[in-house]
Chain A
Amino acid sequence: MMGSIPIVVIPVVMGLWVLATIGTTVETWSDNSPLSDRLGLLTFLIPNWNFFAPHPGQYDYHLLYRDKLSDGEVTAWTETTELTDTPQRLKWLWNPNLYPSKGLFDAGQELTKRLATPEEPIDIDDEPEESEGGNLQPIESDDHLLTIQYMMILNYVSKMDHRDDAEKTQFMLMRSSLRQDDATPMFVSNFHKL
């Protein structure tokens, strides 16, 4: 009797795993994710079989940072390319920088999505509107501040080279593609103490 339990339980578990895979993949095609929310930590185990679909990745993300100095002056933006430099030759064979590069892409997508509200949805494929006077303003909402994506980027830029008199740092995500002439700012953080 006990010996027959695995014969029933294991195929059932495998079947449920397949159903969860279908369910969580399909729900990413819409804005709601009730199944993923219910699965909680189990989502670590559930694959998502959307590759560049329904909407393909169409931009490269760029990470820039600047510092506020002790006298109040703000430095010019510096781009850090360590995460985004992917080799063009032999990338079919050896492409380790795709991990941090895709990591920044995933983080950028998530942070941009979080800026959307039910009243003002943001289509991440749309061009962002320029702020008044063309100046970059940090976003007003603070929902994103404790997200893992925000903290990962902030931690990373905080450990970059800074001037000795730098007191605070701020990062910006820009995106570009060959279809655009210029890179576009997508996300500007608050200033944070170094």
Chain B
Amino acid sequence: MIGIELTTFMTVPEIDLETAVRLITVLTGLHLLYSSAELYSVRRQYGVGGFMSWKVVSVYVGNIRGISLLSPLLGRFPTLILVRFCLGGALIGIGALGSMLPLYQVVLPVAVFVALVLDVLVIVRHPAGLSGAFDMSLVTHAGLFVATAMPNNRTIQLAGILFIATQGILGYFLAGVAKAIGKEWRTGEALEMVLSTKTWGDDRLYELIQSHAWLKRIVGGKIVLFEVLFPVVLFVDPQIVVAIFAIGIIFHVVNAVVMGINSFVIMFPATYPAIYYANQLIPWTIV
């Protein structure tokens, strides 16, 4: 009886493509919102005497055809960031309301396309300093645009959603393989190295793993294992998929608390609805 109740409790719903699209839209909107707020708060760095001054950056990217036309816009980067902030709010609203919104099928791809263009501009404007969350935002908006631009064409929609799912999985898998081939990660030294910095580290945790050497080997090994094995998410029962996603979210929250990399907390899970949908397309499971 208890077993039956537990099974009922643990049952996870299937999601359709429309729901996946709306969830991704809300999450990428959230990322645009708060990352724009953060970028705007350091707007001095984009001014004449700032570290990211357009006067300097434009020498290197301003001559690129297409980008040169956008030069006046890129020169007023804080304004562009404000637009990006507002668009984030709009995407959250569009995703939340869905087809209740008039002209939803037109408004959504247009908003996502603008978000995609802004992602490209933000990346072009930063020769240094951006995290992988901005790359993930770009590929997610690209996939989302493809998935929404032709709502009556299922093949195109699938291409867009599966693109997001693939990039989401590669984001873990390739990083895991890269760590596995690095000597520092195999020995656990990498964890100690990162924690010993002020930028990404934490002095109390650094002292903790220094006094308990086994801890760095175990934690480092578990991180590599989780990332390398992440692709199995496609081939397991949906309940296990949810458990893997929960581990992923905890992983990103811990990284945010310890290392300050807060932008990953939303942007990587933003690909989860696409991965979940891709899992449903595979007719067999290994577990």
What is the interface of chain A, defined by CB distance below 8 A to chain B?
Answer: 6-7, 10-11, 14, 17-18, 21-22, 25-26, 29, 41, 44-45, 47-60, 83-84, 86-88, 91-107, 110, 148-149, 151-153, 155-156, 158-160, 177-179
Contact of A29 with B181 at beta-carbon distance under 8 Å, contacts A47-B135, A152-B128 already known: yes
**Cβ contact within 8 Å between A60 and B42:** no
CB nearest neighbor in B for A58 = B193
Kindly state the separation between the CA atoms of A153 and B129 in the bound complex, as whole angstroms: 13
- Point out the residue from A49, A52, A84, A178 that lies within 8 Å of B190, measured CB to CB: A52
By the criterion CB–CB under 8 Å, are B48 and A47 in contact? no
Instruction: Give the number of A-B contacts (CB < 8 Å).
Output: 217
Interface size of B as a range: 35 or more
Contact (Cβ within 8 A) A50 B49: no
Q: Is the CB of A86 within 8 A of B198?
A: yes
Q: Are A14 and B51 in contact (CB under 8 A)?
A: no
Is A7 a contact partner of B190 (Cβ separation < 8 A)?
no
Check if B101 is an interface residue, CB within 8 A of chain A: no
CB <8 Å contact, B181 and A54: yes
Which of B17-25, B54-62, B102-110 is found at the contact surface with chain A? B54-62
B27-56 vs A, CB cutoff 8 Å, 1 = contact: the mask equals 000000000001101100100111111011
Which residues from chain A contact B146 at a C-beta distance below 8 Å?
Answer: 10, 14
Contact indicator A17/B49 (Cβ below 8 Å): no
Q: How far is the CA of A131 from the CA of B253 in the complex (A)?
A: 44
Contacts of A84 in B (CB 8 A): 198-199
Given A21-B167, A92-B260, A103-B52: A14 and B159 within 8 A (CB)?
A: yes
Contacts of A99 in B (CB 8 A): 38-39, 42, 45, 126, 129-130
With A48-B135, A92-B257, A178-B203 as contacts: A54 and B51 at CB distance below 8 Å: no
Closest chain-A Cβ to B153's Cβ sits at a distance in Å of 7
Contact A148 B56 (CB under 8 A): yes
Complex interface: chain B residues within 8 A of A49 (CB): 132, 135, 170-171, 173-175, 178
Would you mind naming 13 contact pairs between A and B with Cβ atoms under 8 Å apart? A14-B146, A22-B170, A41-B64, A45-B120, A53-B182, A53-B190, A54-B179, A56-B184, A59-B197, A87-B260, A91-B257, A92-B253, A98-B131
Which residues of B94-135 have CB atoms within 8 Å of chain A's CB atoms? 120, 123-124, 126-132, 135
